[in-house]
Chain A
């Protein structure tokens, strides 16, 4: 089992519904977020390109956050999901500094919080909140080891990239381009 997510930048319109749905699902306080939308413009008028990306924790296979965590709060869970055990976290923020994707924040209650791929929903056979709400259906989620999963199928047929591959973290968030 190896969970991964692919986001189709050709369909994403940057509406941030993924952010709103995540905040509601995961009780993320106003002013914070586990996922966010990035818009990148390239070129000079009128030769332009625009990429919309819904970003979040990359659930890396070689995660600097897990490696640097002094208490073991950051850890790998089933399917390669990177999680933080709230009551083991001392809020030292070493993981925040180590993450090349800036995917973590300190929750007002003192622990570090981040995307969990909505592990509580996965247990109930549901997809992550962002995936299930997205109006453009630009997000694909599933098990990379299952060739029939949505994410495996789309990665087989579409050109894709990962972010900051040079950091060597082996990220599992893919962007279809």
Chain B
């Protein structure tokens, strides 16, 4: 972290040895904003993270991309992009981008490729998929995706006959909370979360580091809530940025959050602080819940969490006092300890007791514009899926598990595993999935792996075919229809022609479909044609959207919040908010959340906590010249007491070694800070890249994913709990460190 201007310049200088070498970037970012003719601008929505803020791309008089500015009417950003969005041109200007289609020539994973034409690449893929379909059925193909291209490759793979479509953003991230909220309220949260932060009076964050995770609209609303004097309660073993803005920071012992949640529920019930009318009218299972938490007193939780009973009581009372304008935030990356769905159930129950679901300042009912699909033939019906490899487990998962598809790719005598081809779109699976050895084993068993990306990543190194996508600034994509207080749509269109031989994903999928005889599923010549058809169905047009960028629609339903006392139908088994989950009970899971003790680090080891920095998105931005200028490597946060024990100096490079003996490929600088507990360390995810083609990111910092070799699977929905890994330090590189 940069602590002064001098640090900034020092760090930057290391990161960009040879400033002149990247002169095109500095040239591209001119200051001719106020050109005489008025600036030329085209609409886009950001692809640097999943928040997808709408914005304008400006060009200078010479036609060079000049800057990206947020769209003033977009509720995702309100005219203010985050540092990553503001730095989006870095993605376009990155000279390390993938430039041409490539085909593997040597052993898989050895990074030996030859440049091929698009037609050669497509012919290879189409032939291979055709053969696989004949020999093993179309269900043998799977798509891993993150980002816009998933729409097109999703259509392609469904037309081919498979529905193995998965995103690590589910089972490695927000899946447990979706399942928990569906079980409780009959409705998941989806994205962006419909938290009414702007009007809340009390915001409770449990391990959620808003501000470090730059979920733009949410960060903005938290700032508005601070202005209005909202009370923030943050539970985190680390003194996060959000913790520093909080009235109450509860420095909890890691892995004990469930005990705190149960104690809060206990206090709220036993002191009769809950919303009685709401609970009576809308919920079921209150008596069972009351009996269930009878023993979960703050004194009981104190011994587990180290949070003092009076603090537990005081914070519970504050939540109740401000209710229903209290949000116990569900967080986003919640795959921690394997009982995550149950922990999120406790969060959902707490919100239900406070009456915040469906109420102003709590959770609003979002609405999304419906974008009609262009008519195509019906997709074939697959007879098998990745689920067949799961032995009947994880039935409550409402989306496919990326790790499940991985498991279904590794041959197994007991189970019908059959996945033989992967298309990987915009997700660096080597860093995204835990248990790297398993991912690689799966890849080694594939007959075909196609990777679509804009940048060389660890995953592209393993590909048979690399399809270089142009960046979001150079292409059309599907209409963005995000859920909000009011429905909006946003257009992304090319601001410039694609660089090199890169192409948009829609074009790739369509070309492949044509080659495979599936052209009927892409019934148009250009994406513009499809977009214009869709937009006209919605009462606008491509021409209008190119001018306005973003359009708001009226709500169809007059139910942003529940009307006082009006009956509500919830999409649960009972039609009520299920404090006691009938679904879980009938599936054989605890119908009410139970505290389970999780392992704590052994002597000399520290729990590995990881998270975000506001200027980076996972591994996607690690080589972006604008963003590496702000932060070009991660550090490992170490408490001063621990640093003293180890004799560490600030900035000293160490290697990490985990409980399974895996040693980090690269060293990482120690950051000695009081902001971390003595029993854990923290590092920002997305660094420690091993692909040498990333000239700015290679070997900068260490990869947390590499250290995550232990996974606690959530028995309910198959999520991969990743916070049960422990690391120690090596001051010299040991032999036999992890490869990749």
Contact = CB atoms under 8 A, between A and B. Distances in A.
Interface of A: 10-11, 13-17, 19-21, 23-27, 29-33, 36-41, 43-46, 48-52, 55, 102-103, 105, 108, 120-121, 124, 132-138
B12 interface: yes
B219 to A, nearest CB: 5
A36 B19 contact: no
Given A20-B83, A48-B674, 11 more contacts: A11-B226, A17-B81, A26-B31, A30-B26, A31-B629, A37-B2, A41-B674, A45-B639, A46-B249, A50-B675, A134-B80
B4 A102 contact: yes
Contacts of A19: 83, 630
B5 A23 contact: no
A2 B644 CA distance: 49
Chain B interface size band reads 35 or more
A132 B79 CA distance: 8
Given A31-B629, A45-B239, A108-B19, A17 B82 contact: yes
A133 B219 CA distance: 13
Given A50-B241, A136-B223, A103 B5 contact: yes
B677 A45 contact: yes
B670 interface: no
B2 A124 contact: no
Residue of A11, A15, A102 contacting most chain B CB atoms (<10 Å):
A15
Residue of A30, A38, A48, A50 contacting most chain B CB atoms (<10 Å):
A30
Residue of B1, B29, B77, B677 contacting most chain A CB atoms (<10 Å):
B29
Contacts of A121: 33-34
Interface string B77-116: 1011111001101000000000000000000000000000
B16 A133 contact: no
Contacts of B673: 41
Contacts of B631: 16
A39 B19 contact: no
B26 to A, nearest CB: 5
A37 B7 CA distance: 10
A50 B9 CA distance: 23
B220 interface: yes
Contacts of B626: 20, 23, 30
A153 to B, nearest CB: 13
A80 B2 CA distance: 29
A17 to B, nearest CB: 4
Interface in B694-733: none
17 contacts: A11-B223, A15-B219, A23-B626, A26-B31, A27-B26, A30-B19, A30-B629, A31-B15, A38-B2, A39-B1, A50-B244, A51-B244, A108-B19, A135-B77, A135-B80, A135-B81, A136-B211
A66 to B, nearest CB: 20
Contacts of A55: 5
Interface in B656-677: 673-677
Residue of B5, B614, B673 contacting most chain A CB atoms (<10 Å):
B5
B216 interface: yes
Given A46-B251, A52-B241, A135-B82, A33 B8 contact: yes
A49 B79 CA distance: 31
Interface string B60-74: 000000110110000
A131 B675 CA distance: 28
B614 A14 contact: yes
Contacts of A29: 19, 26
B625 A30 contact: yes
Given A23-B626, A49-B244, A132 B80 contact: yes
B212 interface: yes
Contacts of B29: 23-24, 27
Nearest to B77: A135
B586 interface: no
B592 to A, nearest CB: 31
Nearest to B249: A46
A16 B615 contact: yes
Contact of A15 (B25, B33, B224, B614): B614
A47 to B, nearest CB: 9
A32 B12 CA distance: 8
B4 A36 contact: yes
B551 interface: no
A137 B69 CA distance: 15
A45 B13 contact: no
Contacts of B629: 23, 30-31
Nearest to B34: A124
Contact of A33 (B5, B26, B677): B5
B226 A135 contact: no
Contacts of A43: 674
B575 interface: no
Given A10-B226, A31-B12, A15 B82 contact: yes
Contacts of B79: 132
A48 B675 CA distance: 8
B135 interface: no
Given A44-B674, A48-B239, A31 B86 contact: no
A119 to B, nearest CB: 11
Contacts of A38: 2-4
A31 B3 contact: no
Interface in B204-242: 211-212, 214, 216, 219-220, 222-224, 226-227, 239, 241
A105 B19 CA distance: 15
Interface in B619-668: 625-627, 629-631, 639
Given A13-B211, A135-B219, A36 B239 contact: no
A121 B69 CA distance: 15
A48 B244 contact: yes
Contacts of A24: 29, 66-67, 86, 89
Interface string B114-155: 000000000000000000000000000000000000000000
A126 B91 CA distance: 27
A63 B615 CA distance: 33
- Lowest 6 A-B CB distances belong to which pairs? A13-B211, A50-B244, A15-B614, A136-B223, A46-B251, A17-B83
A20 B630 contact: yes
Contacts of A17: 80-83, 86, 614
A13 B223 CA distance: 9
A30 B82 contact: no
Nearest to A33: B8
A148 B677 CA distance: 45
A11 B625 CA distance: 27
B30 interface: yes
Nearest to B673: A41
B22 interface: yes
A21 B86 contact: yes
Contacts of B678: 45
B30 A27 contact: yes
B9 A33 contact: yes
B245 interface: yes
Contacts of A48: 239, 244, 249, 674-675
Interface in B28-47: 29-31, 33-34
A23 B702 CA distance: 28
Interface string B177-200: 000000000000000000000000
Interface in B524-561: none
A41 B674 CA distance: 8
B6 interface: yes
A44 B675 CA distance: 8
A11 B20 CA distance: 36
Contact of B8 (A14, A36, A124): A36
A132 B69 CA distance: 10
B80 A133 contact: yes
Contact of B83 (A15, A45, A46, A49): A15
B16 A30 contact: yes
Nearest to B226: A11
Contact of A133 (B81, B226, B227, B251): B81
Given A30-B625, A48-B244, A120 B31 contact: yes
